[in-house]
Amino acid sequence: MASAEIDVKYVAHLARLALTPEEETLLGDQLGHILGYIEKLRELDVTNVEPTAHAVPMVNVTRPDETRPSLSHEDALRNAPKQGGGLFIVPKIVE
Amino acid sequence: MLNQLTISGLTARLARREVSAREATQACLDQIQRVDGKIHAFISHDAADALAQADAADREIAAGVNKPLLGVPIAIKDVLAVKGQPLNCGSRILGNFISPYDATAIEKLKAAGAVVFGRLNMDEFAMGSSTENSAFGITRNPWDTARIPGGSSGGSAAAVVADECIASLGTDTGGSVRQPAALCGCVGLKPTYGRVSRYGLVAYASSLDQIGPCTKDVRDSATLLGVLSGHDLRDSTSVPQPVPDYAKALTGDIRGLKLGLPKEYMIGGLDAEVKAAVDAAMKKFTELGAEVVEISLPHTDYAIATYYIIATAEASANLARFDGIRYCARVDGNDPIELYARTRGAGFGPEVKRRIILGTYVLSSGYYDAYYLRAQKVRTLIRNDFLKAFETVDAIVTPTTPTAAFKVGEKADDPLQMYLSDIFTISCNLAGICGVSVPCGFTKTPKLPIGLQLLGRPFGEEALLKIAHAYEQATPWHKEKAAF
């Protein structure tokens, strides 16, 4: 089956994933090959078949809305790449 | 040697005070010193912490406390959160991450008295079938160190087979416990979806992931499943079903049970020695009084394509959290989007990038219906195949893998060939049923383990383990040790 084309640069932007030009080319070839294989699903008639999102069909699962112990401020910040004043430091978002 | 014992063997000797938890733990640590340079099952381990836990267990044993895993050293795949220990998922991206809390499965192990230790190597974010995709180096098969141990829980299976721990935890999204268990020669169980809480398990594909044990025999698998199972309010997909005494089901009596052999699994790529081992196993089942019938799972051939749409779609969403803001090894950028992209580009390895791109693509505007929605519908057909089969049979029997362990590097450059090595294990996750791999023989030259897969009804682990145990006890395979 003909390999599907995939615009790796565009998809990588959607995924917020910086790729080198070499990675883009390699991934494009490999994913074209894999998508070609995946095309076989088109052979099946899925009219009137319900999709399965989860194998165990449970819906509207809730738990009591009660206050429970959670991470301390210190623990929540412990793995932060940059922190200050009890906050995560990030690049400027608004001008 | 104490590190070679099973859970049941060690707990019996601990209860009789013949040995201490410290001695058993030290024996595992000594074995790691001796052999892990060759096997590399562990990314790291905290020996002092393990011995401190062992000493605490010894004090409890002395006080007459009775817990199912008291003093038993159990090693953990690097994808489960253990409070105060590193968590890397076999990836560079998490940097020096230290888990701030315990996964529910880890809480349960600790509550049962286990000595929880070590970070076991794995394919990055559980994406792979050979443990070659780890940022921390490859793990090798104890039966032949030129070969892969399987994956993604390659460290979990290799550590058990190399007697570096008494048992271990892995995770199984498309066969990641059963396949390495088969290729290394131990028992690997994937519980029914919802049986074991996923809280504290770093998500790869949330509708497919389950935590499962790697053990030296089926009884240990039953013991660990009993400890791990149960409803958890912190995982809304965990199912409020009572937890039976799984060990009680291991009666050895499988007379009258009906086993199905799916004709679709006897494919062209099936190795002759693997086929012969499975045929011999079917004969053994007949001798044990079970009835073997041929069944059909007509949508088998579509499972891998379905899996690689659903799993990558879920992964692309789940892995969005690794963005360098609250954790991760950050690579700075001029704005947040550049920071995200650079952090992820530098931190993720090639297979993770491949799956994120594929998953993002199949979910993207204009392709959702053609790929993702269609795959979810085919998933229904695959699940229905199994539910229909279970109307007539008690379990399904297949090879776990089409071949024994392949060589390091053999499939590393061809992702599709690597994906196809999961052909027999992947449907079980799509259907949400349970499955176990048990040793069923060896290839001749080189001598490599072969795995037999049993698949059972949703929440049918008792019957599944009963059948696996009866087979194991009637065959010599699980007693063989790798010489390395």
State the ipTM, two decimals: 0.94
Domain count, chain A: 1
Same domain? For B19 and B133 the reply is yes
Residue B269 included in any domain: no
Residue A95 included in any domain: no
Asked if the C-beta of B323 comes within 8 angstroms of chain A's C-beta atoms, the answer is yes
Residue A74 included in any domain: no
Give, in order, the Cα–Cα distances in Å from B66 to each of B50, B167, B218, B438.
20, 19, 22, 29
- The two three-digit tokens of residue A47, written as one number: 């009219």
Average pLDDT over residues B308-327: 97
Quickly state the pLDDT bin for B450 (edges 50, 70, 90). Answer: very high
Same domain? For B9 and B83 the reply is yes
Inter-residue contact B155 to B139 (CB < 8 Å): yes
- pLDDT value at position B368? 93
Residue A27 included in any domain: yes
pLDDT above 80 for A3: no
pLDDT in tens, B207-248: 999 999 999 999 999 999 999 999 999 999 999 999 999 999
pLDDT in tens, B397-436: 999 999 999 999 999 888 888 888 899 999 999 999 999 9
Tell me if B308 and A34 make a contact (CB, 8 A cut-off). yes
pLDDT above 90 for B484: no
Same domain? For B175 and B312 the reply is no
Taking the C-alpha atoms of residue B273 and residue B264, their distance in angstroms, rounded to an integer, is 18
Residue B446 included in any domain: no
Same domain? For B246 and B360 the reply is no
Residue B111 included in any domain: yes
- Chain-wide mean pLDDT for chain B? 97
- pLDDT value at position A58? 83
Residue A77 included in any domain: no
Closest residue in chain A to residue B354, using alpha carbons only: A27
- pLDDT value at position A60? 86
Same domain? For B199 and B60 the reply is yes
Residue A93 included in any domain: no
Which residue segment(s) compose the domain that B114 sits in?
Answer: 2-256
- Looking at B347, B377, B407, the residue that finishes a domain is B377
Inter-residue contact B468 to B213 (CB < 8 Å): no
Residue B91 neighbours by CB distance under 10 Å: 29
What phi, psi does B281 have (nearest 5°)? -65, -40
Residue B178 included in any domain: yes
Average pLDDT over residues B72-94: 98
pLDDT in tens, B381-399: 999 999 999 999 999 999 9
- pLDDT value at position B269? 82
Same domain? For B172 and B249 the reply is yes
Which residue segment(s) compose the domain that A31 sits in?
Answer: 8-43
Amino acid type, B253: D
Same domain? For B217 and B74 the reply is yes
- Looking at B191, B226, B256, the residue that finishes a domain is B256
pLDDT in tens, B129-174: 999 999 999 999 999 999 999 999 999 999 999 999 999 999 999 9
Same domain? For B207 and B334 the reply is no
Residues of chain A numbered 32-91 and touching chain B (CB < 8 Å): 33-35, 37-38, 40-42, 44, 46, 49-56, 58, 61, 63, 71, 75-76, 78-82, 88, 90-91
Provide the shortest C-alpha distance from residue A41 to chain B (in Å).
7
Based on the residue annotation, tell me whether B77 is a catalytic residue of this protein. yes
Q: Give the H/E segment covering residue B155.
A: helix B154-161
Which CATH number goes with the domain that contains B167? 3.90.1300.10
- pLDDT value at position B20? 98
Based on the residue annotation, tell me whether B197 is a catalytic residue of this protein. no
Quickly state the pLDDT bin for A4 (edges 50, 70, 90). Answer: low
pLDDT in tens, A14-43: 999 999 999 999 999 999 999 999 999 999
Based on the residue annotation, tell me whether B176 is a catalytic residue of this protein. yes
Which CATH number goes with the domain that contains A33? 1.10.20
pLDDT in tens, B257-294: 999 999 999 877 899 999 999 999 999 999 999 999 99
Residue B160 included in any domain: yes
**Can you name the residues that pair with A87 across neighbouring β-strands?**
A84
Same domain? For B165 and B42 the reply is yes
pLDDT above 60 for B251: yes
Q: Is the peptide bond before A3 cis (omega within 30 degrees of 0)?
A: no
- pLDDT value at position A1? 37
Domain count, chain B: 2
Residue B138 included in any domain: yes
Average pLDDT over residues B9-34: 98
Average pLDDT over residues B76-89: 98
Q: Identify each DSSP E strand in B16-60 by its residue range.
A: 42-44
Residue B465 included in any domain: no
Same domain? For B251 and B305 the reply is no
Taking the C-alpha atoms of residue B2 and residue A87, their distance in angstroms, rounded to an integer, is 49
Contacts of A23 in chain B (CB under 8 A): 350, 353
- Looking at B348, B377, B406, the residue that finishes a domain is B377
- pLDDT value at position A2? 40
Residue A94 included in any domain: no
Q: Is the peptide bond before B100 cis (omega within 30 degrees of 0)?
A: no
Catalytic residue among B8, B77, B190, B316: B77
Residue B436 included in any domain: no
Residue A21 included in any domain: yes
Tell me which of A93 and B334 has the higher pLDDT: B334
